[in-house]
Chain A
């Protein structure tokens, strides 16, 4: 009995060791395989979830249940699928039109991507393109209106994990849009919707409402991408720097289309 237990414990420990070693070898491949196989079901669940979020689905489902007609239920569901697909495509088209109107496509080389999974509390999203589509690590992700969303943190064959700007693990160089004087600081994510601007000299005139954009970085992202707006300034005369709480323009990604900057 003891021998049997020891054997089982050994197998269990060995399994943990193998899983842990995936951090060093083959982990990306394993994750990619799971994402690949889960994708069809995940997409269907997502569409059903979006339909439920849209109250029309509730009402239509109720109606169908009242009528107790299986055929009608199928037809209605199909229509809802088509409707949600149409809404999604309309959103995509709108985003692409915005890109064309603002000339963003002339300014940067872009690749449009969609969110396939997200964990906003942990500060990341998963997008539907990866290495095979030419994406690179640390590339910036933006919205059609030039709002900085985050940076690619990990690349898989057909997926990429994006670290959101609001995540505490990401900090970027940023500048304050001001006609008189240029101020440069660092923006740090503070989780949820919060951002903090730090390392701004005490004498710099910070005020609520000022817009913060990205500053020149070492080739990771272009300058001038919108980061947030100052909500509150925190000054302490005993310290040589001041800070500001920012309102992020981008928080809940939902199903909108995003863009990866491939070249700028």
Chain B
């Protein structure tokens, strides 16, 4: 339980630090919180419902800090998580290349989901909910950076496990 609460607080702090720390950087940076959520989901056991709670919390925070209203992150991140959980059956996860493939799949679903949901919400809500096609963390640099960061997490975890053994 303590570990779960730790991760929920960690994601919140990561988002806050990210929007503060990288604000004055000249190029857009990866969405570290999204990659961390992805890594936590991938490295957890399939039965664990915590991944969905984590995605819901992450999506809610994205709505607060990145999006104009509520619902875009809250819906799209759990959807991407559910697809990611299902993909366990047909995508192995013991190789870096598959890990990167999963990360790209996760990003693609989240990206398409968030844009689609924003358009749907925009059509029946008074406030402006539309987000541009190139939204937060999806420029060329940030995608390359995300894949690199994801790769580092994967390799780092593997090395760590070797040391622990």
Rounded to whole Å, the gap between the CB of A52 and the closest CB of chain B is: 8
Structural contact, A122 and B23, CB atoms closer than 8 A: no
- Interface residues in A18-46 by Cβ distance below 8 A to B read 19-20, 22-23, 27, 30-31, 34, 38, 41-46
Min CB gap A88→B, angstroms: 11
* Residue numbers in A under 8 Å from B17 (CB-CB): 41-42, 45
Chain B, residues 135-163, CB within 8 Å of chain A (1/0): the string is: 11011000000000000000000000000
A19-B63, A19-B71, A122-B135 as given contacts; A117 in contact with B128, CB under 8 Å: no
In the complex, A43 Cα to B67 Cα: how many Å? 20
Q: Assess the B70–A12 pair: CB atoms within 8 A.
A: no
**Contact size range, A:** 35 or more
User: Which residues of B (1-35) have their CB < 8 Å from a CB of A?
Assistant: 13, 16-26, 28
What 1/0 flags go to B29-67 for Cβ under 8 Å of A? 000000000000000000001001000100011011111
Q: Is A205 an interface residue (CB 8 A)?
A: no
Q: By the criterion of a CB under 8 Å from any partner CB, how many residues of chain B are at the interface?
A: 42
Q: Which of B18, B21, B28 has the most CB of A within 10 A?
A: B21
- Residues of A contacting B65 with CB < 8 Å? 34, 38, 117
B105, CB-defined interface residue at 8 Å: no
Question: Is B96 interfacial (CB-CB < 8 Å)?
Answer: no
Instruction: Select one of A19, A45, A154, A254 contacting B68, CB under 8 A.
Output: A154
- Check B60 against A43 for contact (C-beta < 8 Å): no
Task: Let me know if A96 is at the binding interface, CB within 8 A.
Answer: no
A239-B138 Cα distance, complex, nearest whole Å: 36
B23 in complex: contacting residue of A23, A118, A163, CB < 8 Å = A118
Interface of B is mostly: loop
Please pick, from B21, B56, B139, the residue contacting A121 in the complex, using a CB distance under 8 A.
B139
Are A16 and B20 in touch, CB under 8 angstroms? no
Q: B68 to A49, Cβ gap below 8 A? A: no
- Which residue of B21, B68, B74, B78 is within 8 Å of A161 (Cβ)? B68
- Whether the pair A53, B24 counts as a contact (CB closer than 8 A) is yes
User: Contact at A23–B74, with CB atoms within 8 Å?
Assistant: no
CB contacts (< 8 Å) of A22 on chain B: these are 70
Residue of A whose beta carbon sits closest to that of B63: A19
- Nearest CB of B to A260, in Å: 19
Instruction: Please tell me if A185 contacts chain B, counting CB pairs below 8 Å.
Output: no
Contact B49 A8 (CB under 8 A): yes
A15 within 8 A of partner (CB):
yes
Q: In the complex, what distance in Å separates the CA atom of A16 from the CA atom of B135?
A: 22
How far is A169 from B17 in the complex, measured between Cα atoms in Å?
28
Kindly supply a per-residue 1/0 record for chain A positions 37-78, scoring 1 wherever the CB is within 8 Å of any chain B CB and 0 otherwise. 010011111101110110000000000000000000000000
Q: Please judge, given known A-B contacts A8-B49, A41-B20, A191-B134, whether A23 and B128 are in contact too, CB under 8 Å.
A: no
Do the beta carbons of B69 and A46 come within 8 Å of each other? no
Q: In the complex, A78 Cα to B82 Cα: how many Å? A: 46
A→B interface (CB under 8 Å): 8, 12, 15-16, 19-20, 22-23, 27, 30-31, 34, 38, 41-46, 48-50, 52-53, 117-119, 121-124, 153-154, 161, 163, 167-169, 191, 252, 254-255
Extra 20 A-B pairs, beta carbons < 8 Å, given A23-B71, A52-B21 = A12-B52, A12-B56, A19-B56, A19-B63, A31-B64, A38-B16, A41-B13, A41-B20, A42-B16, A44-B20, A46-B21, A117-B65, A119-B136, A121-B132, A121-B135, A121-B136, A122-B66, A122-B132, A161-B68, A191-B132
Closest 8 CB pairs of A and B: A45-B20, A42-B20, A49-B21, A46-B20, A45-B21, A22-B70, A38-B16, A45-B17
